[in-house]
A and B are shown apart, each in its own frame.
Chain A
């Protein structure tokens, strides 16, 4: 458990780390939109190149990036399998009962898989390169317009930062409880699915108990420090945009344009190929 990556901040002081969190958040949204604009393999290639460049620039080891994919591998696999088995268009390659494996189905499934994987890597890249504090600051700032419709922006930001802050604590806690139950002979890694799920009970119950206790204590601590007693909180570290953010914005814009052009098939040459 100790080694769970889960998009936990990975300090390396790279160009991407130094970007304003807002830039990274917007860029990741743009990237997600771009992924869903993709139709042909060339646009996927563009997405891949962009993402690979970002990973390289961020100086985060490929291993920790791939670890984040590991968590959703199961979902990716299921998506692929369902798409391969039940996609109905295209030329039939293999048919049995309700199962229809078609060439179009295979292509579609592979695209879906790429989409999911790119999506996960891109979003974890944001959390890997941004401290939780910065991330919530950025989000809060981006959500400011919502204040006009009485959306509790600041509270949501606090909730998020607390949630992010406690991820490592909970991992540590799970680690401890698991060890304690292991010491009493509990086995977590053998037996079937049901047996394994049952084996987790001695971990989950103490975890929930301690989560509620922590929540109570935290609420008390917030109260004790007069949380929400004043109207306007000021920030010690204000977010500022620098030349880096300009560079990042331009790169992202170029990327988005490329994907749109590829989708519209304006590179007529390529359009003929796929």
Chain B
């Protein structure tokens, strides 16, 4: 078990007029190798939840164990924890700070105690991994890059210390459709080769349907569903939670309501396949 969350609750600004219950008795486990999506409308506690996972918010009630590090211990080993669980925040490009791309990407590795040479090597590998040319880009200022490049550099800054688990908070927010596609392909390829587990927070249900094997649905700080995308989008009423349906699901449901019976597709590709089979079958009959 890589991540075990047990009865986690969190209240902000306790006992003031601003008191807010962000998480309410949340429990789940994530095993190595999974690709998990976390969804929920704004204010449902998603961010708070993932910030707990790498010890950015102090655990007050409940128990969280990540990579065998018990966060309810008095002094958890935060360094080891954060090295093992890379976290990419929303709009990560706004957190670039160094003079050069190379220095920014090396920031993490050096904080985690890699030597200069190791960090250099790690930076080169990470930049290449995100599809940029290290030798071309390393001396440039991160602020002069294009939006998509900045985000890649920011991701490289996390990948450079080789985390086992990667948490992504809305990795495609603010990118154009092509940029989104590239980002998702990148994340998917990382999942295949570089990191063991990927946790993605997203509002985009199409992305969740396509790339996650499992979805956690949060609402009002509670864990409402912990299931597969197929189960969630076809058997639960996600729209009442303020979430949308993936486009493919919407098409299938519309067709179903008109009396067609089509396999439950989640992605564009599956849907096309399903439709072709359906039409082909009819043509043969």
Q: Report which A residues bind B (CB closer than 8 A).
A: 2-3, 10-12, 61, 64, 176-177, 179-187, 201-203, 205-206, 209-210
Contact B97 A184 (CB under 8 A): no
Contact A182 B82 (CB under 8 A): yes
Interface size on B, residues (CB 8 A): 27
User: Roughly how many angstroms separate A177 CA and B89 CA in the complex, as a whole number?
Assistant: 9
User: Roughly how many angstroms separate A206 CA and B96 CA in the complex, as a whole number?
Assistant: 6
Contact A185 B56 (CB under 8 A): no
User: What's the dominant secondary structure at chain A's contact region?
Assistant: helix
Binds A, one of B12-20, B208-216, B222-230: B12-20
Any A CB within 8 A of the CB of B233: no
Contact A179 B107 (CB under 8 A): no
Contact A183 B16 (CB under 8 A): no
Contact of A209 (CB < 8 Å), options: B86, B107, B143, B157: B143
Contact B95 A180 (CB under 8 A): yes
A202 — nearest CB in chain B belongs to which residue? B97
B170 to chain A, nearest CB (A): 13
Chain B contacts for A187, CB-based, 8 A: 111
A23 to chain B, nearest CB (A): 23
Contact residues, B22-53 vs A (CB, 8 A): 51
Contact B95 A206 (CB under 8 A): yes
Contact B54 A185 (CB under 8 A): no
Contact of A180 (CB < 8 Å), options: B12, B17, B92: B92
Contact B112 A185 (CB under 8 A): yes
B172 to chain A, nearest CB (A): 18
Any A CB within 8 A of the CB of B87: yes
Contact of A61 (CB < 8 Å), options: B16, B96, B98: B16
Contact residues, B54-93 vs A (CB, 8 A): 54, 56, 79, 82-83, 86-87, 89, 92
Chain A contacts for B96, CB-based, 8 A: 206
Any A CB within 8 A of the CB of B108: yes
Contact of B111 (CB < 8 Å), options: A2, A179, A184: A184
A247 to chain B, nearest CB (A): 25
A129 to chain B, nearest CB (A): 13
